[in-house]
């Protein structure tokens, strides 16, 4: 009986250790991206380095792994894509990351793929400014209904204040006994 409990506990501990170390690739990729890549790269916009959205469609995973491990080796080796990136981003070299495993880099690519926004053209950017309609109507002299309404409200407030002052004066005079006929 004691052996069954011991074996069960041992199997349970191995299972818990195996599941505790198994971080989902996207979560591992997010952590690695934020600690290693986010200083120079963004998923959806260019920074010091290029935007990484769609990198898996533009380059093979082997190319990405080699570039991350040593970008300058690829530049010096004459790789045309590596040279183009190096030239486009002001010849700022990407630091080498030889300590990242192939699986680490694949998890970073999985995170980038999950975070990538679809590339769509915003139609509002292409619209001509003269063609857009405002959501409000600016005031003009032709808005006579508004101006008449405004004047009626102001006149009503003035009349109400005048009436309140006259009423207060009447009450004060009545209290003091100085009512004039």
What is the model's pTM? 0.54
Percentage, residues of the chain above pLDDT 70: 73
What is the pLDDT, as a whole number, of residue 113? 85
Q: What is the mean pLDDT of residues 142-162?
A: 90
Token pair, residue 110, equals 């999985």
Q: Which residue has the tokens 């898996």?
A: 56
- Of 111, 59, 68, 112, the closest CA to residue 93 belongs to 68
| 7-56 pLDDT per residue, tens | 666 565 655 555 555 566 778 888 888 888 888 888 888 888 888 888 88
- At residue 135, φ and ψ (nearest 5 deg) are -80, -5
SS3 content of the chain, % helix, strand, coil (to 5): 65, 0, 35
Give the Cα separation of 104 and 28 in Å (integer): 8
For the cut 90, the answer to whether the pLDDT of residue 160 exceeds it is: yes
Give the Cα separation of 12 and 6 in Å (integer): 10
């Amino acid at each position: 009986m004691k052996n069954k409990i011991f074996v069960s506990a041992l199997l349970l501990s191995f299972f818990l250790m195996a599941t505790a170390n198994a971080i989902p690739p996207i979560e591992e990729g997010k952590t690695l991206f934020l600690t290693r890549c986010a200083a120079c790269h963004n998923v959806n916009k260019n920074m010091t380095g290029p935007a990484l959205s769609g990198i898996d469609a533009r380059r093979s995973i082997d190319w990405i792994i080699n570039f991350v491990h040593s970008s300058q080796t690829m530049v010096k080796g004459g790789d045309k894509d590596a040279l183009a990136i190096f030239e486009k981003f002001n010849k700022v070299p990407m630091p080498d990351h030889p300590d990242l495993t192939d699986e680490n880099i694949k998890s970073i690519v999985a995170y980038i793929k999950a975070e990538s926004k679809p590339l769509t053209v915003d139609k509002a950017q292409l619209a001509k400014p003269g063609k857009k309609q405002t959501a409000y109507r600016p005031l003009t002299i032709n808005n006579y209904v508004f101006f008449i309404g405004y004047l009626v409200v102001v006149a009503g407030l003035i009349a109400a204040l005048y009436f309140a002052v006259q009423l207060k004066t009447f009450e004060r005079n009545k209290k003091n006994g100085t009512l004039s006929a």
